[in-house]
Amino acid sequence: MERPAMEYIDTSALIALSDKRDKNHVNAVKHLKESVKKGTRFVIGKHVLIEYLDGVTKRIGKDKAIYELDKILNSKIVVLELETKKDWIKALEYFRMYNDQRIDLTDCLSFALMERLGLKQVFTFDSDFRIHGFEVLPNSRNRKV
């Protein structure tokens, strides 16, 4: 049996999916529907989940954050991945390596986690992943959020 395709999912995609006013909402929903139809599964780093839920808590409220948390944790298409000590060390290396760019530590930790898992594609609207060499989906030239 063939393994389903796996994509990493970043905070910007989660925001676009949940906020109908987000400029990327339509593209995000379309990409999610097409991916799910093809059997794609998504990996979310614990740190991305925290970043997303913290933003929801502060901007919308705790009830919405708990709703989003439960939706993600109970999803049949999303896998939560915890970082390892090696991921953390690699993330710090990347953070220092990109000292001439505004790539944050959260993204650097995502890079390390994706590399460990052998993931090449990321559902995001953040161009930092393209800079590091990942395939950014949807395939439009995404801008930094």
Task: Report pLDDT digits (tens) over 30-44.
Answer: 999 999 999 999 999
pLDDT at 139: 81
CB within 8 Å of 38: residues ≥ 6 apart: 5
**Statement: residue 1 has pLDDT above 80:** no
The pLDDT tens digits for 8-61 are 999 999 999 999 999 999 999 999 999 999 999 999 999 999 999 999 999 999
d(CA 41, CA 51) in angstroms, rounded, equals 20
How confident is residue 66, by pLDDT bands cut at 50, 70 and 90?
very high
Establish whether the linkage from the previous residue to 138 is cis, with ω within 30° of 0. yes
The amino acid present at 62, given as its one-letter code, is K
| Separation in Å, CA 92 to CA 8, 43, 56, 110, 135 | 20, 21, 26, 11, 22
Element (H, E) at 122: strand 121-123
Confidence class for position 2, pLDDT limits 50, 70, 90: low
C-alpha dihedral (64, 123, 110, 95), degrees to nearest 10: -110
Query: What CATH class does 6-137 carry?
Result: alpha beta
Give phi and psi for 80, each to the nearest 5: -85, 130
Of 143, 144, 123, 145, residue with least CA distance to 135 = 123
> Which pair of tokens denotes residue 69?
């948390």
Q: Does 143 or 79 have the greater pLDDT score?
A: 79
Q: Are 15 and 145 in contact (CB under 8 A)?
A: yes
Q: Rounded distance, CA 72 to CA 101, Å?
A: 31
Q: pLDDT band at 72, cuts 50/70/90?
A: very high
pLDDT above 60: residue 145: no
pTM to 2 decimal places? 0.91
**Which pLDDT tens digit goes with each residue over 93-144?**
999 999 999 999 999 999 999 999 999 999 999 999 999 999 999 986 544 4
